[in-house]
Structure 1
Amino acid sequence: MKVCLISSTGGHLVELQKFIPAVSTHNYFIVTELSEMSRSLAKREKVYYLRQQERHGWFFYLNLLLNIIKSLRILIKENPKIIITTGAGAVFPLCLFGKILGKKVVYIESFAKILTPSLTGKVIYKFADEFYIQWPSLIAHYPKAKYRGSLY
């Protein structure tokens, strides 16, 4: 089974890397944003890079378009059966197109989100096959989510 692990860089990527032992017996790859932190990951893992998703200005639209194209290419080339994501930023296009193409989408809300939902979580919650929260207080925002404790 092929697994796609996708997140933005920073804390989301740190959380995502906690899943590597669980998928290490499968054929897996990582998709993240290019940064100093993520660049070193390519020395030991199969990694694809997206552009960091700006939230404002015309760069938002340019990066979104480029990330949509890159996400489609990755999905077609790798054809994963399951997509696991910790969010944020540039993950939305790959998750949405993955769902459209029949892939199972699993979302894990960020450990940092204790009382309020993330923007990415609110959007992906609508179509995720599995949705996990790391704090029981978020069940009020995500009634169908599963609480299984913290990744830490």
Structure 2
Amino acid sequence: MAERKKKVLAISSGGGHWVQLLRLRPAFEGSDVVYATVREGYRKDVGDAEFRLICDGNRWNKFKLLKSAAGIFLLLLRERPDVVISTGAAPGYFGVRFGKWLGARVIWVDSVANAEELSMSGQKAGEFVDLWLTQWQHLAGENGPQWMGSVL
């Protein structure tokens, strides 16, 4: 009997977070991947892979933040991924937080742009993830993210 492929939900907000998430694509080979992000125009970036549009939310727009959280929770209930991976920001936080609640393995790769300190979403997500990575060696710590070289 053939082994079932792992289902991965790769989720992020737009801009640099999305670009960094796409740079991780080689790590997803051999998996069924669903990409989720905040801009319809990004659909073309994933070719034939599954794509889900989610509401963007941030700390300055609480209504959209709640709408984003609810939509991401429903997405996770529908997709039931084995692994959730994110490069940030708020949508990624909700993805890993809710993914963990639902039994998925969760991975956070903090944004390469955060060279001086960890991102706010990364700091909040860190306590819930199975693997927490930073791109910067000086940001790694015993109770913080790991540095395994520059993965992006």
TM-score class, shorter-chain normalisation, is 0.7 to 0.9
8 Å CA contact 1:15–1:151 kept in 2: the answer is no
Please give the TM-score of this superposition, normalised by the length of structure 1: 0.87
Alignment of 1:54-93 (within 5 A): 54-56=58-60, 60-93=61-94
Q: Which residue of 1 aligns with 2:111?
A: 110
Long gaps (5+) in structure 1: none
Match of 1:63, as an amino acid?
K
Instruction: Give me the whole-angstrom Cα distance separating, in 2, the residues matched to 1:2 and 1:47.
Output: 13
Long gaps (5+) in structure 2: 1-5
Q: After TM superposition, where is structure 1 displaced by more than 3 Å over at least 4 residues in a row?
A: none
Alignment of 1:131-150 (within 5 A): 131-140=132-141, 143-150=143-150
Q: Report the alpha carbon displacement of residue 25 of structure 1 after superposing the two structures with TM.
A: 1.1
Match of 1:48, as an amino acid?
R
Percent of matched pairs sharing the same residue: 28
8 Å CA contact 2:86–2:95 kept in 1: the answer is no
Deviations 1:42-83 (A, max 9, x none): 654311111222432xxx222122212211221111110111
Instruction: Give me the whole-angstrom Cα distance separating, in 2, the residues matched to 1:35 and 1:120.
Output: 23
8 Å CA contact 2:93–2:122 kept in 1: the answer is no
Q: Report the alpha carbon displacement of residue 39 of structure 1 after superposing the two structures with TM.
A: 4.2
Instruction: Give me the whole-angstrom Cα distance separating, in 2, the residues matched to 1:54 and 1:64.
Output: 5
Instruction: Give me the whole-angstrom Cα distance separating, in 2, the residues matched to 1:65 and 1:119.
Output: 17
Q: Report the alpha carbon displacement of residue 144 of structure 1 after superposing the two structures with TM.
A: 3.9
Instruction: Give me the whole-angstrom Cα distance separating, in 2, the residues matched to 1:52 and 1:135.
Output: 27
Deviations 1:5-57 (A, max 9, x none): 11111111111011212212111111111254x2433654311111222432x
Instruction: Give me the whole-angstrom Cα distance separating, in 2, the residues matched to 1:132 and 1:33.
Output: 23
Secondary structure, in 3 states, of the residue corresponding to 2:140?
helix
Match of 2:57, as an amino acid?
Q
Alignment of 1:5-16 (within 5 A): 5-16=10-21
8 Å CA contact 2:57–2:67 kept in 1: the answer is no
8 Å CA contact 2:17–2:87 kept in 1: the answer is yes
Instruction: Give me the whole-angstrom Cα distance separating, in 1, the residues matched to 2:127 and 2:73.
Output: 21
Instruction: Give me the whole-angstrom Cα distance separating, in 2, the residues matched to 1:43 and 1:18.
Output: 14
Instruction: Give me the whole-angstrom Cα distance separating, in 2, the residues matched to 1:15 and 1:76.
Output: 25
